[in-house]
């Protein structure tokens, strides 16, 4: 479990909730009564950001009353979106204690605690009964997990028959070395970026059928350009991914966008279905 310990350490901020609430208060927000939209600049920690979460929900055909498991939920942005926009009951699990604590607090402040809950745990040993969830998601998490076969097997186990598994990960598009640090890893020691073909093979071996797949590189690059241009015009907003990543933000984001632009990596969305 040393890798999981190191991954959790990588993401731990130390005073994240205070940083988020301070940024929101500086813009006049009532931090005790937040809307999910108030948080989207910081709690959608993946390429494509909130816009991609919206798209993923559409691809998964989410509807009211569905039970959703978000594996590697971070501070809870997608989980809260699934609950508020689609009426789902969502469980989030993450390795990082601080992320889970902040996710719970922010969810209460958004008035969604009756629909969304979080706990600390590993995707390699999910603490849930078999056939519990209608849908599971994995959003920019697989890059930190070497044993994807076990991960996908656990996702399949906890899904009901016919349940959908939405994977949205950064995947390898070239064998050339990646620049580090990246948002998900300081060095290659905790980075396990694999090709779409590897994902397809392992998902199929785990008992899934691939229903849809699409490369979201152009989408992420366009949104990234728009965000950069907006920051150049208006300055860096008080709340953003820099709130999570701190002083390393500029270098990490520059590296991931450069790798994306050069075709070393691609954010790929796969919708898989649990088959009998």
215, 272 in Cβ contact below 8 A? no
Residue 172: strand pairing partners: 265
CA distance 56 to 207: 21
CB under 8 Å to 54, separation ≥6 — which residues? 81, 85
pLDDT of residue 221: 97
Q: Which residue has the tokens 């396990």?
A: 192
pTM over 0.85: yes
DSSP symbols for the chain:
-HHHHHHHHHH--SSHHHHHHHHHHHTT--TTS--HHHHHHHH--STTHHHHHHHHHHHTT--TT-EEEEET-TTSHHHHHHHHHH--EEEEEES-HHHHHHHHHHHHHTT-TTTEEEEE--TTS--S-TT-EEEEEEES-GGG-S-HHHHHHHHHHHEEEEEEEEEEEEEES-SSPPPS-BTTBSSGGG-----HHHHHHHHHHHTEEEEEEEE-HHHHHHHHHHHHHHHHHH---SSSHHHHHGGGHHHHHHHHHHHHHTTSEEEEEEEEEE--
Indicate left, alpha or beta for 65 from its phi (over 0: left) and psi (-120 to 50: alpha): left
Place of tokens 């959703």: 68
Q: How far apart are CA 57 and CA 48, in angstroms?
A: 13
CA torsion sign for 216, 222, 228, 233 is: negative
Q: What is the pLDDT along the chain (276 residues), one digit of tens a residue?
A: 589 999 999 999 999 999 999 999 999 999 999 999 999 999 999 999 999 999 999 999 999 999 999 999 999 999 999 999 999 999 999 999 999 999 999 999 999 999 999 999 999 999 999 999 999 999 999 999 999 999 999 999 999 999 999 999 999 999 999 999 999 999 999 999 999 999 999 999 999 999 999 999 999 999 999 999 998 999 999 999 999 999 999 999 999 999 999 999 999 999 999 997
Question: What does the angle CA 231 – CA 81 – CA 121 come to, to the nearest 5 degrees?
Answer: 100
Only one residue has tokens 């691939």, namely: 210
Taking Cα atoms as reference points, which of 179, 246, 269, 276 lies closest to residue 18?
A: 246
> Nearest CA to 11 among 201, 141, 124?
141
Contacts of 19 (CB under 8 A, 6+ apart): 13, 243
Range of the domain at 31: 2-274
Q: Tell me, what CATH number does 93's domain have?
A: 3.40.50.150
- The bridge status of strand 159-172 relative to strand 133-139 is parallel
- What's residue 2's pLDDT? 87
Query: What is the rounded distance in angstroms from the CA atom of residue 69 to the CA atom of residue 67?
Result: 7
What would the two tokens of residue 144 be? 């930190």
Give the number of domains in the chain. 1
Per-residue model confidence (pLDDT) at position 202: 98
pLDDT at residue 276, as a whole number: 75
């Amino acid at each position: 479990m040393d890798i999981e310990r190191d991954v959790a350490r990588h993401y731990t901020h130390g005073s994240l909730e205070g940083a988020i609430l301070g940024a929101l208060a500086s813009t006049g927000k009532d931090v005790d009564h937040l809307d999910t939209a108030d948080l989207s600049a910081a709690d959608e920690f993946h390429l494509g950001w909130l816009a991609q979460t919206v798209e993923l929900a559409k691809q998964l055909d989410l509807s009211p009353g569905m039970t959703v498991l978000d594996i590697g939920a971070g501070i809870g942005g997608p989980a809260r979106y699934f609950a508020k926009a689609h009426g789902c009951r969502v469980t989030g699990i993450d390795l990082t204690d601080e992320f889970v604590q902040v996710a719970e607090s922010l969810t209460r402040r958004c008035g969604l605690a009756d629909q969304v809950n979080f706990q600390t745990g590993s995707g390699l040993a999910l603490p849930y009964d078999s056939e519990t969830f209608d849908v599971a998601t994995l959003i920019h998490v697989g890059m930190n997990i070497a044993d994807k076969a076990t991960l996908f097997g656990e996702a399949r186990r906890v899904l009901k028959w016919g349940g959908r598994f939405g994977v949205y990960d950064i995947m390898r598009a070239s064998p050339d070395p990646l620049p580090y640090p990246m948002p998900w890893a300081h060095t290659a020691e905790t980075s396990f970026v694999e090709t779409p073909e590897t994902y397809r093979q392992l998902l199929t071996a785990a008992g899934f059928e691939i229903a849809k797949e699409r490369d979201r590189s152009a989408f992420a690059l366009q949104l990234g350009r728009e965000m950069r241009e907006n920051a150049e015009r208006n300055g860096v907003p008080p709340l953003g991914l820099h709130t999570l990543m701190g002083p390393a933000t500029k270098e990490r984001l520059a590296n991931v966008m450069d790798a994306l632009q050069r075709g070393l990596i691609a954010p790929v969305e796969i919708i898989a279905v649990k088959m009998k």
